Structure 1
Amino acid sequence: MQAPEFNQILLSNAEFLKPFAITLTRDTEAAKDLFQETLYKALANKDKYNIGTNIKAWLYTIMRNIFINNYRRRFRQNTIFDATPNDAFLNYVQITAANIATSNMNIKEMQDAVHHLPEIFKKPFLLYFDGFKYHEIADMLGEPLGTIKSRIHFARKLLKIQIERF
């Protein structure tokens, strides 16, 4: 297919993409960008279009893939767009003081809760807390792997119950 023929087919079917772009982006400006990028990709890859196939479906697929790729790229970058005006925060001074006493009390309560665990649960839990893997703990204590996993699980459950009391 010659370039002028492809361009004519592309232009005659391009208007169907605009509502689809708005549906995907829910923003008119982003939809215009998506529409333009789709047409660009279609023109750049016109040699991949098979003559006689449904060009609308081909264009919809290109647009959908561009949208998904852009979404994934933004998600990976953890980009957060903040459109709110921050004028109120210009002269905002926030003074915070760390309450070390409260955090020390919480740590002490946690240590007491771990100390009061039955010995059968405390030893595997403390080893796991120190960073050992399940299979390493099982080898150290000479117990089956499933037993170690269940003891650590029950230790967590008991700690959760004790900590909820505080």
Structure 2
Amino acid sequence: MTTLEFSYSLDRLTRSLKPFALRLTKDRDDANDLIQDTVLKAFTNRDKFSDGTNLKAWLFTIMKNTFITNYQKMLRRATFVDTTDNQHYLNSGKTKVENQAYGDFALEDIQHSIGHLDPSFRTPFMMHFKGYKYEEIAQHLDIPIGTVKNRIHVARKKLKENLSIYKYD
């Protein structure tokens, strides 16, 4: 493939890169930068492209690898070296690491709160949680479908009140 043909094909396929770039970066300007980097790398490395292979797939691979490389660079920039005698590497920024204990406490509280629901609310709620449809729950419990919906709603409301400590702002 000549340079002119390659350049024409590259220009034609550039539009199809935009949705993928937006999905990766979640930002229009960053997506445009990523597309520009991808096209530049593809053009400078056109000698590595084999005729008869899928140019679009090659461009998507370049874009994905460029995004990963840029993301890793960004993470490295957010890391600084502690110059004390211990030489620890610390991540800067507002990150927090949670251990499994928090999740275990939450799960215990959820199970406890569900266990303390009145059985008339707990049973339809748990059946719905397990994937049963409203109609199936109504038939199984021999109650009207409106009652099933109401009991599930009330159970959710009570659980939300009891577990309000876990509410995210």
- TM-score normalized by the length of structure 1: 0.47
In terms of Rg, which structure is larger?
A: 1
Answer 1 or 2: higher relative contact order, Cα 8 Å, separation at least 6.
1
- TM-score normalized by the length of structure 2: 0.46
